[in-house]
């Protein structure tokens, strides 16, 4: 029987470039599959239903919950997001590594079900870069940017629940590092393991707080 794939949970502060990193993994390496989530958030410009997300009304989303169609779901800044179950199982049994790009609550819920899932948190090289990226992305209003930065400060406390921290300095480096972790490269795993990176997370958290205070 073919080897089962790995479940890779990829999280990170809003604006850190998770989407681009995930796309890079899919483009550069063969044996990855991305789980497309359902959400009640409105589509951003350029997002395609069924590809970026399955865009749902709140009622449709609640029906999916009732039918037990989600592996996990969570609320994030006033919208629901959830991972449809069937596709994940199908891809894992085909031997593909399945990427879940989800936030921390969902990530921890998935880990309870799949204890061997690998939890990776992507961080920016520094706090200012995150702030600049959210601002220049131009997809969110100023108050939403503040909400997302505030949420990032809270999320910094949850990073310790993850297995690895990967810095998104360049997309190529970040993609290769994640692929190395997925392939059990012990030197990379050692460098990225959570305990080695908590002091850095603390610095980012403090800097984000100062940015929000306008300092």
Residues near ligand 5GP (CB under 6 A) = 11, 14, 37, 41, 72, 74, 76, 81-83, 101-103, 105-106
Task: Give the shortest CB-190-to-ligand 5GP separation in angstroms.
Answer: 26
Residue 142 CA neighbour count, 13 Å, CB half: 1
The structure tokens 């080695």 sit at 196
The two three-digit tokens of residue 174, written as one number: 């970040």
- The answer to whether 4 and 95 are in contact (CB under 8 A) is yes
Helix count (H) and strand count (E) of the chain? Answer: 9, 9
Please give the Cα distance from 147 to 149 (Å, whole number).
6
Instruction: Give min distance, CB of 70 to ligand 5GP, in A.
Output: 8
110 touches 72 (CB < 8 A):
yes
Select 5 or 82, whichever has its Cβ closest to ligand 5GP.
82
**Least distance CB 81 / ligand 5GP (angstroms):** 3
Task: Tell me the residue nearest to ligand 5GP as measured from the CB.
Answer: 106
Tell me the backbone φ, ψ of residue 95, rounded to 5 degrees.
95, 5
User: In terms of CB distance, is 37 or 96 closer to ligand 5GP?
Assistant: 37
Residue number with CB closer to ligand 5GP (92 or 191): 92
Q: Report in angstroms how near the CB of residue 14 gets to ligand 5GP at its nearest.
A: 5
14 or 97: whose CB is closer to ligand 5GP? 14
């Amino acid at each position: 029987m073919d080897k089962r794939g790995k479940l890779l949970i990829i999280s990170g502060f809003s604006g850190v470039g998770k989407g681009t990193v995930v796309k890079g993994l899919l483009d550069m390496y063969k044996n990855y599959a991305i789980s497309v989530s359902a959400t009640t958030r409105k589509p951003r410009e350029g997002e395609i239903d069924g590809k970026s997300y399955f865009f749902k009304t709140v009622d449709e989303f609640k029906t999916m919950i009732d039918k037990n169609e989600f592996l996990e779901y969570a609320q994030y800044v006033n919208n629901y997001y959830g991972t449809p179950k069937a596709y994940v199982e199908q891809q894992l049994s085909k031997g593909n590594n399945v990427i879940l790009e989800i936030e921390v609550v969902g990530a921890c819920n998935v880990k309870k079900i799949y204890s061997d899932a690998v939890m990776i948190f992507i961080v920016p090289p520094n706090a200012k870069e995150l702030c600049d990226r959210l601002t220049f992305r131009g997809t969110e209003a100023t108050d939403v940017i503040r909400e997302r930065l505030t949420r990032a400060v809270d999320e910094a406390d949850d990073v310790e629940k993850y297995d690895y921290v990967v810095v998104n300095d360049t997309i190529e480096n970040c993609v290769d590092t994640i692929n190395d972790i997925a392939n059990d490269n012990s030197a990379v795993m050692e460098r990225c393991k959570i305990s080695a990176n908590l002091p850095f997370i603390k610095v980012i958290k403090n800097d984000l707080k100062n940015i929000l205070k306008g300092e």
